Amino acid sequence: MKNYVSASILSADMLNLEREIRRLEESGVDMLHFDVMDGVFVNNITYGLPVLQQVRKATGMTLDVHLMITDPLKYVKNFADSGADIITFHTESESDAKETVRAIKACGVKAAAAIKPGTSADAVCDILPELDMVLVMTVEPGFGGQSFIESTVDKIATLRRRIDSLGLDCDIQVDGGINYDTAPVVRKAGANVLVSGSCLFRADDLTEAVRSIKG
Ligand code: DX5
Ligand code: ZN
């Protein structure tokens, strides 16, 4: 199983986003993680479609869009048209999960479902065969720079066993509090797409940081 690192631009220098993207391209990062928050599903508001369109114009990197919004189904096509390569929605949102997966795939984009730290792995059971990726949140969604929640590790392992026993080709992404100490723990449990924001953007040597997190 191949490991990937997805850089969360929530921690990037927004006034110099293009420069940050160039730095990430040179660092060996595999994807850009784009956190969309609507101030209702989570207590924070970030950026949306116009910024994604600009980022799409600026880079050929895989754009991994994490929707922390109340009704993701309503916006799937807009995010696909704006350049997303992967669209992740939350199972705790108000949209029907099966319909949302189908809508994402109908746009020719990879589909992923996210679960918050308190949500059981069972929440993605029914849709697992249709998913390209499951996102196990390792902090409460809403803010960068939080501490990793240990109790999510067992859930990663449970999902990895389920995916492997069904013979599915489905990545497990983790997001929140991923750093040099927690990356080996989540990789061992079976995660292979590691999102990192504050740890990467704080690093003196970005290339070395990416290499360390990727394992
Ligand atoms: C939190 C976001 C994360 C966040 C991760 O809701 O989904 O992507 O940027 O940031 P760090 O790596 O700093 O925990
Ligand atoms: Zn995220």
Give the SS3 label for residue 12.
Answer: coil
Amino acid in position 12 = A
- Closest ligand 1 atom to the C-alpha of 179? 12
Looking at all shown ligands, the one closest to residue 66's CA atom is 2
Please tell me the distance from the alpha carbon of residue 210 to that of residue 139, in angstroms, as a whole number: 20
Kindly write down the DSSP assignment for every residue of 152-166, as one continuous string. Answer: GHHHHHHHHHHHHHT
Positive or negative, the Cα torsion across 126, 194, 80, 48? positive
For the chain, give the percent of residues with pLDDT over 90. Answer: 100
- Closest ligand 1 atom to the C-alpha of 178? 12
State in Å: Cα 32 to ligand 1 middle.
Answer: 12
Domains of the chain in start order, with CATH, are 4-214 (3.20.20.70)
* Each residue's pLDDT tens digit, 86-103: 999 999 999 999 999 999
Q: Is 162 left (phi over 0), alpha (psi -120 to 50) or beta?
A: alpha
Which of these is catalytic: 38, 64, 132, 175? Answer: 175
* Secondary structure tally for the chain: helices H, strands E: 8, 8
Looking at all shown ligands, the one closest to residue 198's CA atom is 1
Going by the DSSP 8-state scheme, the letter that residue 82 receives in this structure is: T
Active site residue 175: yes
The confidence score (pLDDT) of residue 143 equals 98
Active site residue 35: yes
Long-range Cβ pairs for the range 103-111 (8 Å, 24+) = 103/73, 103/76, 103/77, 104/76, 104/80, 105/130, 107/76, 107/77, 107/80, 107/81, 108/80, 109/80, 109/84, 109/85, 110/85, 110/86, 111/86, 111/87
* Each residue's pLDDT tens digit, 137-189: 999 999 999 999 999 999 999 999 999 999 999 999 999 999 999 999 999 99
The mean pLDDT of 105-111, rounded to a whole number, is 98
CB of 8 shorter than 6 A to ligand 1? yes
Q: What global pTM score does this model have?
A: 0.98
Give the SS3 label for residue 111.
Answer: strand
Cα–Cα distances (Å) from 212 to 93, 158, 182, in that order, read 33, 25, 11
Which of these is catalytic: 35, 38, 64, 171? Answer: 35
Phi, psi of 88 (to 5 degrees): -110, 130
Q: What is the mean pLDDT of the chain?
A: 98
CB of 64 shorter than 6 A to ligand 1? no
Q: State which of 5, 6, 8 you would mutate to test the pocket of ligand 1, scoring each by most atoms of that ligand within 8 A of its C-beta.
A: 8
